[in-house]
Amino acid sequence: MAKGYLLVNVYCDTIANPVEGAVVKVIKNNNEIVIEKTNEDGQTNKITLDTVDKSYSLEDQNLVRPYETYDVEVSALGLTPTKINGVQIFDGETSIQNIYVTSIDENSENVESTITPNTLWKNESPNLIEESDNSTFVLDKVIIPEKIIVHDGIPSNTTAPNYAVPFVDYVKNVASSEIYSTWPTETIKANVLAIISYALNRVYTEWYRSKGYDFMITSTTSYDQKYTHNGTIFQSIAKVVDEVFDDYIRQGFRPEPLLAHYKSNTSEPGNLSQWGSKDLGDKGYNYLEILKYYYGNNINIAQAEVGWESPYSYTKELKEGDCSRDVYKLQNTLNYIRGSYPGIPIIENPTGLFDSNTTKAVKVFQKVFGLSQTGIVDYKTWYKISYILIAVTKMTNSVYS
C-alpha cells in the first residue's frame, strides 16, 4: 500500500496564534484511525496514511482518483470543534492542512467544511467567460498585495462569501487545487508562474473593482482560477511558491502581468496545457522553456514589488559567522515571534553575531513554516519571517488596544 503524509497546523483565528494541546483526529469511513495532539507551535507530528499509488497522478486518466481522502476533526478547550472533510493525501507527498478555530461563545456552532476535488480529477478546466482589458490600466505598477479578496462563487452571486486571503497562501491553494504535487518541479514552477501572473493581472487591471464589485478575483473556473476554502496545501508546491511568489510572466515590454490562460489539455495558442506541461517536464524542459512553448518566445519573467510594509527590509543573505546590524534585527525579530511560537529557541543577549544559537533558531523557524532547514536566511526565509512578524504584531496590538 502506498503511503502519504499529513501535517496539521491548528490556529485560533490567525496564524499568529497557534493552538497547543488541540486534539486532532484523522477519520476514514467514520472510524478514527489516528489521534494526535498539537505541540507548542500548534503542529501535529507528521502522520503516515495509506493512499493511492503515485502512478495514477502521472497519467491523464479518469478511472482512479489519484489521491486518498480523509476527514480531520479538531477540538480544544474553549474553542469551537472544527471538521474538514476530504483532506487529500498523495503517494510520497506531505499534505499540509491548516485549520483555523474560533473561541466558543453563546452563538457558537460546530464548524464543518468539505474540500472539493482537484480540477484535474473532475475535469474542471478553466473556460473563461470574461477577458481582461489589457488596454486599461488602473494601478501604476505591479505589486504583490498583502491579501487578495476572493469571491467564493460567480461574480453575480451576491450571497457568496468573500475571503481575504494572504496572496502567497492563495497561490499555494490554487496550485494545489489545479495540478498534482507529484509532477516534476519545473512543471510545477511553470504552472505556479501562470497562476501568479493570472491573479496579478486581475489585481493590476482592477478587473472586478472597475465593474463595481468589492473583490479582486473569483474562485470559479468559469471566470478565474479554483480557490478551495480550507483546501489542502502540498509541501512540494508550497516550496516552489515560496521561491517565486513575486515573479510573474510578461510579454515583451508590456507592463501588465500576462493573463496566463491554461487548461488540463489544449492545443489552443496562448493556452498552457497542464498535462502537456507535465510531459515537457518529464522530457527535461525547464520552467521557462515550458512557458515559452505555450505562451511564445517573447515572454520574460519580471519581478513585482511586494506591496506590504515590514519594519525591516531584506538586504542580503544572512548566515552563521556574519556580524551586522541586520543580524541583530533578525535575532530580535525571532525572539519577538517566539512569543507566539515558543518552540523557537530564544537567542540570549542578541549581539549581531550570527552564532550557532541563531542558526538553531532559524532552522526551527524554517521547520515550523515548511521551509528548507538550511539555517540560512535567504529571501524566502526573510519574507516568511517578515510576514509572521506582521501577523504577530497585529495580534499583539489588537489584544492591548
Alpha-carbon gap, residue 95 to 4, rounded angstroms: 8
Q: Per the structure, how many domains does the chain have? A: 3
Helices and strands (H, E) in the chain, number of each type: 9, 18
Shared-domain flag, residues 182 and 283? yes
Note whether residue 103 is domain-resident.
yes
Which residues contact residue 120 at a Cβ distance below 8 angstroms, ignoring those fewer than 6 apart? 60, 178, 179, 180, 264, 274, 275
Question: Is 101 in contact with 22 (CB distance < 8 Å)?
Answer: yes
In a domain, 319, yes or no: no
Residue 134 lies in a domain: no
Judgement on whether residues 301 and 331 belong to the same structural domain of the protein: no
- Rounded CA-CA distance 264/279 in Å is 12
Same domain, 148 and 106: no
CATH of the domain at 347: 1.10.101
Task: Give yes or no: residues 231 and 299 share one domain.
Answer: yes
Could you list the pLDDT tens digit for every one of the 401 residues in the chain? 899 999 999 999 999 999 999 999 999 999 999 999 999 999 999 999 999 999 999 999 989 999 999 999 999 999 999 999 999 999 999 999 999 999 987 677 789 999 999 999 976 655 555 554 444 557 788 999 989 999 999 999 999 999 999 999 999 999 999 999 999 999 999 999 999 999 999 999 999 998 999 999 999 999 999 999 999 999 999 999 999 999 999 999 888 999 999 999 988 888 999 999 999 999 999 999 999 999 999 999 999 988 776 777 788 999 999 999 999 999 999 999 999 999 999 999 999 999 999 999 999 999 999 999 999 999 889 989 998 999 999 876 654 33
Whether the Cβ atoms of residue 293 and residue 280 lie closer than 8 Å to each other: yes
pTM for the structure as a whole: 0.93
The 233-234 sheet, strands edge to edge:
47-51, 2-12, 94-101, 233-234
Q: Name the residue range of residue 56's domain.
A: 2-114
- At 130-139, the pLDDT tens digits run 554 444 557 7
Query: What 8-state DSSP symbol labels residue 209?
Result: G
Same domain as 331, residue 243: no
Q: Is 387 helix (H, G, I), strand (E, B) or coil?
A: helix
What is the model's pLDDT at position 110? 87
205 burial level (CB within 10 Å; 0-12, 13-18, 19+):
buried
Residues 358 and 272 in one domain: no
What percent of the chain is predicted at pLDDT more than 70?
94
Residue 131 lies in a domain: no
| CA–CA distances in Å: residue 234 to residues 30, 42, 155, 182, 401 | 24, 18, 28, 9, 37
The answer to whether residue 247 sits within a structural domain is yes
191 and 285 assigned to the same domain:
yes
Residue 376 to residue 303: CA distance in whole angstroms: 22
Domain boundary among 114, 129, 152: 114
End position of a domain, from candidates 259, 279, 306: 306
Q: Which three cell numbers stand for residue 276?
A: 502537456
Same domain, 284 and 332: no
Q: Say if strands 68-76 and 47-51 run parallel, antiparallel, or are unpaired.
A: unpaired
Residue 276 included in any domain: yes
Within-domain flag for 313: no
Q: Whole-angstrom Cα distance, residue 11 to residue 20? A: 9
372 lies in the same domain as 284 = no
C-alpha cell at 127: 473556460
Residues 86 and 189 in one domain: no
